Structure 1
Amino acid sequence: MIHTVPKALFCWVPIVLLALGTAVRTGPMEQAGTAGTRGTAPDRFVVRLDTTKGPIVVECFRDWAPNGADRFHELVTSGYFNDSAIFRIRPKTWAQFGINGDPKVSQAWRPRTITDDPFQPQHGSERGTVFFAWAVPNGRTTVLM
């Protein structure tokens, strides 16, 4: 069953992530690294990330960032995040995760970049949102903040 999480709760996601520094599991999925559901993600979907410190619920709206939503859905349905660690924390700002624990799986995804989504100022990377990390234009892969 999927429960809707009030928007006010999302402002706590970064705080919860900061406290974790731990492994993330996305529930029963295929073997990590196998192909997930490619193509178009649902217009709205909810993902529960189970951590050793408790669950984190992410509600994703495809119209906010279609390419990002499609990739996130693919990563989740492939089990890519299973046993992944939160590996970088910037206190009171963000926590970063999205490198698979198996170097071979992680390396296989590295060249699979996605195109940047059009900028939508009403849906920026504000506190309580989850977004892909980037280093160069059109260079997003698997790492989220």
Structure 2
Amino acid sequence: MLRMHIVQVCWPLVGLMMMVGCSSQIDSAANNAPAVPTAPAGEGAANAETYKVRFETSKGDFVVEVHPEWAPIGAAHFRELVDAGFYDDTRFFRVIDGFMAQVGMNGDPEVHAQWSERTIPDEPTKQSNTRGFVTFARTGMPNSRSTQIFINYGDNSQLDNQGFAPFGKVVEGMDVVDSLYSGYGEGAPRGRGPDQQLIRESGNKYLNAQFPELDYIITARVIGGDRALIAPGDELRTESDDSVNDQ
């Protein structure tokens, strides 16, 4: 996994594996969980309309444009997470200069646990992991994408043949993404940044106490076109069921 643990990708397979399986920064809880296709994978999904999501963060706003034709399963699952309010008040717990900014572990351990096993099937990579493209993190296991996503800072095309399929791209506010706090570097056990296992156990309580400089998402909302189909938080309250590497 590239040293970039793309959510868990280590750096060029080692870096990449960090993303996928190398680092323990990407939700590994999904490793042994059966894939649950929460998003349609058929032609209908591929033909779904493009939509935009505005992220209000501690550093300002940025907008991601999602293209279902690039990765229909990932695009549909991301919409589900956004509509449920999953990304609200979540920290960018892994920000590596020149590599990527990773987010997607809910600050409430119970909420994160509900989603951690909702993995989705792998799908072909149709776009490259270059600057501004947004991709789900994954572990080294098949069908392990769940909730963690990362935004590429540079040319990470070495990830393209390792199951990291971009589903969207930052179209506004990339300067905000560039400014996210990266002082903690890589997470445990390779660096001094947040330990994903401790995030799973204690959520924002752990992050706020040990890593107070982390930037975070205040809200993430679909803008324009169809409004969110689920009021933020409703699904999390009613259902109990999470690369680059998901740990």
Give 1:141's aligned amino acid: S
What RMSD, in angstroms, separates the aligned Cα atoms of the two structures? Answer: 1.7
Q: Distance in 2 between matches of 1:87 and 1:141?
A: 16
What runs of 5+ residues in structure 2 fail to find an aligned partner?
A: 1-38, 151-247
The structure number with the bigger radius of gyration is 2
Q: Secondary structure at the match of 1:43?
A: coil
Q: Distance in 2 between matches of 1:59 and 1:98?
A: 17
TM value normalised by structure 1: 0.69
Instruction: Work out which of the residue numbers 97, 100, 105 in structure 1 matches 2:111.
Output: 105
2:165 is the counterpart of 1:137: no
State the 4+ residue runs in structure 1 displaced beyond 6 angstroms. none
Shift of 1:119: 2.4
User: In the alignment, which residue of structure 2 is the partner of 1:86?
Assistant: 92
Q: Distance in 2 between matches of 1:75 and 1:126?
A: 23
Instruction: Work out which of the residue numbers 63, 66, 71 in structure 2 matches 1:65.
Output: 71
Identity, % of aligned positions: 42
Q: Secondary structure at the match of 2:135?
A: coil
Q: Secondary structure at the match of 1:62?
A: coil
User: In the alignment, which residue of structure 2 is the partner of 1:127?
Assistant: 131
Q: Secondary structure at the match of 2:69?
A: helix
Q: Distance in 2 between matches of 1:83 and 1:65?
A: 26
Q: Distance in 2 between matches of 1:81 and 1:61?
A: 19
What runs of 5+ residues in structure 1 fail to find an aligned partner?
A: 1-37
Q: Distance in 1 between matches of 2:128 and 2:142?
A: 16
2:62 is the counterpart of 1:56: yes
TM value normalised by structure 2: 0.41
**8 Å contact from structure 2 (residues 119, 145) kept in 1:** yes
